[in-house]
Structure 1
Amino acid sequence: MDTTLTPDSSVYRILYFEEIYPSRAAEEQAEKSKLAAFGTLARLNPLNRPKAETVKLSKWELRYEPFWHLVARREIDYLHEAVYPVQITNPYARKVEIAGSSFEIVPNSGSKPRIDVQLQEFCHRKIDAVVHQDGLKRGIKPAKLQGYIDRYKATERAQLDMDGTIPPQLPFNAAVQIVKAKLAAEPIDAHSIQSDTVEFTTAHLYFRPVFAFEYNWNNKLGVIEIDGLTGEVIENGEWFREKVDIVMSREMMFELGAEVASAVVPGSGYAVKLLNKVTQEKPKANM
Structure 2
Amino acid sequence: MQVELAEERVFRMTDRFTLEHAEGRAWSKRIEAFGAMARVTGLFAQPKDDEFEVVYRERRLQPFWRLIVSTSTTYERARDYEMKVLPEVREVTIGEQVLPVVAGQFKVRGLESCKDETRRETLIDGLSKQVTPGLSAYLQHDAIEIDADALAAATAEGLVVVPPEAKASMVVRDVIAAAIGKIDADRVLEELVRVEAVDLYYRPVHAFRYRRAGKEAVVEFDAVTGEVRTGGATFEQHLGKVMDTQFLLDVGAETLNMVIPGANLAKLMIVKGMALRERRDPS
Question: Shared topology, TM-score over 0.5?
Answer: yes
Q: Structure 1 CA distance, aligned partners of 2:269 and 2:89? A: 61
Query: Hey, which of these two has a bigger chunk of helix by percent?
Result: 2
Q: Hey, what does 1:154 align to over in structure 2? A: 143
Give the direction of change, closer, same or farther, for the CA distance of 1:50–1:137 in structure 2 (3 Å limit). farther
TM value normalised by structure 2: 0.77
Using the size of structure 1 for normalisation, the TM-score is: 0.76
> CA-to-partner distance for each residue in 1:81-108, whole Å, 9 max, x for gaps?
211124557956634142x4x2322144
Q: 2:258 aligns with which of 250, 258, 263?
A: 263
- Are 2:179 and 1:189 aligned? no
- Give the corresponding residue for 2:175: 179
Cα distance in 2 between the residues matched to 1:246 and 1:60: 19
Q: 2:133 aligns with which of 138, 142, 154?
A: 142
Is 1:6–1:273's contact at 8 Å kept on the other side of the alignment? no
Contact residue 66 and residue 134 of structure 1 kept, 8 A: yes
Kindly provide the amino acid, as one letter, of the partner of residue 32 in structure 1: S
SS of the aligned residue for 1:29 comes to: helix
Map of 2:109 onto structure 1: 118
**Does residue 230 of the first structure (1) align with residue 225 of the second (2)?**
yes
% of aligned pairs identical?
A: 25
Match for 1:201: what amino acid? E
How far apart, CA to CA, are the structure 1 residues paired with 2:37 and 2:131?
Answer: 24
Partners of 1:206 and 1:42 lie apart in 2 by 36
Q: What residue ranges of structure 2 are gaps of 5+ in the alignment?
A: 273-283
Does residue 77 of structure 1 match 2:74? yes
SS in 2 for 1:223: strand
Which whole-Å CA distance do the structure 1 matches of 2:197 and 2:175 have between them?
11
| Structure 2 equivalent of residue 216 of structure 1 | 211
- Quote the offset at 1:168 in angstroms: 1.0
Distance in 2 separating the partners of 1:240 and 1:140: 22
Residue 19 of structure 1 corresponds to: 15
Pick one of 25, 36, 53 that aligns with 1:56: 53
Query: How far off its partner does 1:169 sit?
Result: 1.1
Please state how far the C-alpha of 1:181 moved relative to its aligned partner: 3.5
RMSD: 3.3
1:264-285 residue CA offsets vs partner (Å, 9 max, x unmatched): 343455859699xxxxxxxxxx
Partner in structure 2 of residue 3 of structure 1 = 3
Distance change (3 Å), C-alpha of 1:272 and 1:228: farther
Render the CA deviation track for 1:228-252: whole Å, top value 9, x for unaligned: 0122101001001343723644x55
Aligned residue pairs total: 260
Structure 1 residues 274, 72: closer, same or farther in 2, change over 3 A?
closer
Matched, 1:32 2:28: yes
Residue identity matched to 2:70: R
